[in-house]
């Protein structure tokens, strides 16, 4: 089940496409290690297509066949390397949800700024079985849109300083203040 994007309309989609284009031109588009070579090649077009007329579910469907079969090699205490298979059967969903949501949040922040509102509101966009307490505490908070936008732009593919989105599978996103 994908996220519920409260403000996903044509205006938000256009801001998403603009942000994706900016990341591509600056060579900052996050390409997960989980993507295989073909996936890394195809990913820019796939995320653009999802932003134009899809969502995280359509992106997940497209990248599922473009994932590596093994995780990034890790050095063991013995000095040898381990290259375990990808353990999560939902790796494609986690990647798609996380990255689509990041561009969606950036777009919502840009909309808020353009509309003269300095803040966006945190909401639960996906039901989770065991919500994290730190995620629960963020719901309903208003966040400075410009600071959140800068934070997500600067922290590509990693957790942000402001904690939004709040890690993999948090189910949190932001919306325009109502």
pLDDT at 136: 79
Q: Are 123 and 174 in contact (CB under 8 A)?
A: yes
Residue 10: pLDDT over 80: yes
Residue 158: pLDDT over 70: no
**When comparing pLDDT for 160 and 18, which is higher?**
18
**When comparing pLDDT for 131 and 150, which is higher?**
150
Residue 116 belongs to a domain? yes
Residue 113 belongs to a domain? yes
Residue 5 belongs to a domain? no
pLDDT classification of 87: cutoffs 50, 70, 90: low
**When comparing pLDDT for 94 and 12, which is higher?**
12
Residue 2 belongs to a domain? no
Residue 96 belongs to a domain? yes
Q: How many residues does the chain have?
A: 178
Cβ atoms < 10 Å from Cβ of 129 = 5
User: Which residues are bridge partners to 35 per DSSP?
Assistant: 67
Q: Strands, DSSP E only, in the chain?
A: 74-75, 81-82, 119-124, 142-144, 172-176
Residue 88 belongs to a domain? yes
Residue 1 belongs to a domain? no
Overall number of domains in the chain = 1
CA gap 142, 122 in Å, rounded: 6
Residue 128: pLDDT over 80: no
Residue 162: pLDDT over 60: no
What range defines the domain where residue 65 resides?
A: 10-176
How distant, in Å, are the alpha carbons of 54, 66, 85, 100, 125 from that of 5?
11, 25, 32, 10, 7
Residue 4 belongs to a domain? no
């Amino acid at each position: 089940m994908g996220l519920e994007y409260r403000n996903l309309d044509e205006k938000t989609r256009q801001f998403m496409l603009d942000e994706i284009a900016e990341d591509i031109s600056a060579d900052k588009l996050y390409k997960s290690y989980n993507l295989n070579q073909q996936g890394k090649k195809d990913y820019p077009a796939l995320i653009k297509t999802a932003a134009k007329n899809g969502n995280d579910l359509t992106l997940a469907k497209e990248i599922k066949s473009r994932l590596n079969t093994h995780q990034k090699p890790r050095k063991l205490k013995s000095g040898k390397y381990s290259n375990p298979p990808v353990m999560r059967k939902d790796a494609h969903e986690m990647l798609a949800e996380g990255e689509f949501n990041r561009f969606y949040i950036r777009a919502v922040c840009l909309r808020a700024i353009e509309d003269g509102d300095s803040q966006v509101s945190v909401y639960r966009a996906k039901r989770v079985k065991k919500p994290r307490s730190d995620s629960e505490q963020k719901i309903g908070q208003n966040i400075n849109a410009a600071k959140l936008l800068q934070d997500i732009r600067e922290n590509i593919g990693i957790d942000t300083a402001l904690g939004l989105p709040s890690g993999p599978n948090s189910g949190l996103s932001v919306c325009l203040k109502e």
